[in-house]
Amino acid sequence: MRELTESAVGSPLPSTIAVSVLGGVLGGSIAALLVVGFTEVLKAMLEVVSRQHTWVIVLVPLLGVALSVLVLYRLGLSEADNSQRSRWGAEWRSFPAGAARSHLTDDMVASAGVEERFPWRLVPIRLLSICATVGLGGPMGTEAPAAYLGVATGAALGARWHRLLRPAAVGGGAAGVAVLMGIPLVGTAYILELGRRHKAPLNVERITAALVGGFVGWLLNIYLGVNLIRLVVPKEPPHSLYQAMITALLIGVLSGSITSLSGAAIYRAKAWRASPVVRLALGGLALATAAVMIAMIASPSAAVGPGGGAITWVESATGTSALIVLVVDVLRAVATTAAAAAGGCGGLFVPFLAIGDLAGRVFAPSLEVPSDLAGAAGAAGGISGGYHLPFTAVALVLSQGGPRLAVLTCLATVVVAGFAGTGSAKLLDRILAFGRPEVARAPVTEEGDPYSF
């Protein structure tokens, strides 16, 4: 475990709490406002894309991923290139050698507990890449950009007020997610649980800043009256305890397995030392193929964006067979994996919510459970099994509410999905390494975190 932050070492508890609250309020307020503005821009871009003809909906996200790669690898520089020192704005577009430039979570995980190392000057070039990927309809989400922008805001503020750096960064990250989701504890749990991957301490400073930042983001969400993301809330409970248990088991296994395999594929793609052009060519081909198939068997809107269109489609498509829903679910997972592997810049939390939601609805007719319950349970399972953030999934379920048995069903699904996700990833490793003992999981980040995607 990391040592206590400098700002907390030797400080009386009231002083530590006061500084953490101040940092959480300052970093959280500014970060939340920036996240709202940036997300509204992304939503406006997505709305324009989603109204176009089918061929545009299929082509534009592919173009967006290509633009993302162009921004990150042509406009972006490598610190290994000594000649960059004479280039204009080099410090604002220089990535560490060998860095996965499109993966926002890497920087948040690697700087957790040592937020003064966060490379906040890379935010402008990353925002351009996010606009190209998410704004033009790529199947990636807005939560990682929101958290990334929040942490960067706090780190940038700390460059002037060093005492507030770490609480402002933690509070900013929590506020960014909370204002996006409209749920304070989800922002708090997300930033703290993500930090534990780098063994960041759960001390008074970090917990206080995360709680304050989460509630600041939530309050601004209410005050500004924004609706940045749509969550499915269960309205009807299962008809019996037995039905609830079967629902949690089946939906947990399917949602956790599909999202976990997607995450494992993205991790391995990040570890693959291929050129950006090769990644773009192969990933783009898979993305385009998946998008065409989704548009043919479901609807064009189901193929675009983080997944809201797919949820709208499955809710309105009465009489659709479970097999079709399952195929669309798998294709959505393929599309998100391909976009991330190709060099798209965005989040996986929201796409995994959508993939899990669809996985849950696969079983709704046969189990005779309400569709909204199946979707909510699957979405929570996708976060637990795919993103490997079980406590964040629990915070999501408890904060959304609903009938008591429905909430218990969703919580049980989170547990099942967590085990299913871990088991699926390990099984994939064994299959890929069968007969090839030299094949091992290559560490991509300094910590070798297999879930840093």
pLDDT tens readout for residues 242-254 = 999 999 999 999 9
Instruction: Report the SS3 class of residue 363.
Output: coil
Mean pLDDT for the stretch of residues 286-304 = 92
Ramachandran region of residue 369, left (φ > 0), alpha (ψ -120 to 50) or beta?
A: beta
Range of weakest confidence among 25-34, 89-98, 391-400: 89-98
Q: Is the pTM of this model over 0.75?
A: yes
Distance CA 130, CA 347 (A): 9
Nearest to 31 by CA among 170, 167, 175, 155: 175
Query: In the prediction, which pLDDT does 8 show?
Result: 54
For 303, other C-beta atoms within 10 Å of its C-beta total 29
Burial category of 292 from C-beta neighbours within 10 Å (exposed 0-12, middle 13-18, buried 19 and up): middle
Cα–Cα distance list, 329 to 141, 339, 360, 375 (Å): 16, 15, 10, 12
Mean pLDDT for the stretch of residues 270-283 = 86
Give every CB contact of residue 316 below 8 A, 6+ residues apart in sequence. none
Instruction: Report the SS3 class of residue 94.
Output: strand
Rounded to a whole number, what is the largest CA-CA distance in the chain? 69
Query: In the prediction, which pLDDT does 125 show?
Result: 95
Give every CB contact of residue 224 below 8 A, 6+ residues apart in sequence. 36
Mean pLDDT for the stretch of residues 348-369 = 91
pLDDT tens readout for residues 225-243 = 988 888 888 998 998 999 9
Mean pLDDT for the stretch of residues 311-320 = 84
Nearest to 163 by CA among 205, 108, 197, 132: 205
Distance CA 20, CA 22 (A): 5
